[in-house]
Amino acid sequence: MKAGWPLLGAALLLPPFLPISDYTLHIIILVLLWAFVYTSWTIMGRFGLVSLGHGAFLGLGTYVTALLWNHYGLTPWAGIPLGVVVAVAVALVIGYPCSRLKVVGHYFALVTLALTEVVRLSIVAWRDVTGGSLGMTPNAVPPESIVALQFTKFTWYWVALGVWALGLVVWHRVDRSMTRSAMDAIADDETAAAAVGINVTLQKLLVTTVSAALTAFGGALIGQYQMYINPDTMAGVGVSLQIVFAAISGGMYVILGPTVGAILTIVLQEFLRVLFGTRCIGAAATIYGIMLIVFIIFMPAGICGVIVARMRKRRAVAAAAPAAG
């Protein structure tokens, strides 16, 4: 496994140079960008903070960036940080009272669900500015513009790869931090956690901030890449459910779990699109919902969780065998 990482890293440098179709490269870029968003969700989701509100952060990141660009000509280099700041502010406004009032579990999911719909409905209602449910397109400039953050697929691949790697680095750092232990303790017993000196609200807001900020960043980049955003695909309950499904099915406790979840959801999405065309836009959300339930019941650790458990078992058996023989 240790040897696997450099190998994986080398393999990831290849796609843009391979004789693959533009479409395949497009799918790979989408997988990387969405994997970043899913990884960002698990940074809080793995600690029992099951947010159905990440569609809100995604939407805020992407719409703030695109609106500032279209209406004020503000470069995404400034627009994205502002989108992130707005998303974090909203996360704190919701997160702080949730923590103080001990809103956890199902209630937390419900509050965040309401948040994501509020953001979606606001985008729809503010039609004159946002284009409403028809969505909007960032004003295009000739590609390979650093100022406008608009590139060809070749360049986008490297951007997506870098951002995806950044997500893994952050995930890993949180995984090794004392905050992870604190959050596990909080998930077990908030009262006992506070009694050993853990500031419960501070720790929760810490992971919430990181998770919301990265999600907004990911949303903004997806908008820049697709050059089209829509309140139904970038905010609201549909995309929130997609995020939760991908993170849980891939595995929230393993670094590459959300990436596997991204491969699964993007391939599924494309498959459904080819199969039904645009007639069944709602089909995906329904299927996510059903599959989410199936995973939660039969495979709560997700695909990667099961694989890691199998590998551990095999290694343990292998280690015990020579001693026995």
Partner 1 sequence: MLQVDGLTKAFGGFVAVNQVSFAVAPAEILGLIGPNGSGKSTIFNLVSGTLSPTAGSIRFEGQEIAGRPASEIVHRGLARTFQIPRPFRKLPILENVAVAAYFGRNGRIDRGTAVERARAALALVGLPGDPDARTDGLGAAGLKKLELARALATQPRLLLADESLGGLDHGEMQQAAEMLRRVRGEMGITIVWVEHIMGVLMKVVDRVMVLHHGETVAEGLPADVVRDPRVIEVYLGRGHAGA
Measured CA distances, 206 to 174, 182, 196, 201 (Å): 10, 11, 18, 8
316 binds partner 1 (CB under 8 A): no
Give the span between the Cα atoms of 50 and 257, in whole angstroms: 16
Q: Which amino acid is located at 263 in the chain?
A: I
188 binds partner 1 (CB under 8 A): yes
Selected range binding partner 1 among 107-115, 117-125, 190-198, 226-234, rule: CB under 8 A: 190-198
At closest approach, how far in Å is the CB of 97 from partner 1? 16
**For partner 1, which is the closer residue by CB, 123 or 182?**
182
200 binds partner 1 (CB under 8 A): yes
Selected range binding partner 1 among 32-40, 123-131, 188-196, 225-233, rule: CB under 8 A: 188-196
* Binders in 144-183 for partner 1, by CB under 8 A: 178, 181-182
Give the span between the Cα atoms of 113 and 56, in whole angstroms: 9
Q: Are 220 and 42 in contact (CB under 8 A)?
A: no
| Token code pair at residue 206 | 């810490």
Measured CA distances, 59 to 126, 135, 247 (Å): 14, 11, 18
What is residue 229's DSSP assignment? Answer: B
**For partner 1, which is the closer residue by CB, 25 or 194?**
194
227 binds partner 1 (CB under 8 A): no
**For partner 1, which is the closer residue by CB, 145 or 199?**
199
Q: Which amino acid is located at 18 in the chain?
A: L
Number of shown-chain residues binding partner 1 (CB under 8 A): 18
Q: Which residues bind partner 1 (CB under 8 A)?
A: 178, 181-182, 184-185, 187-189, 191-200
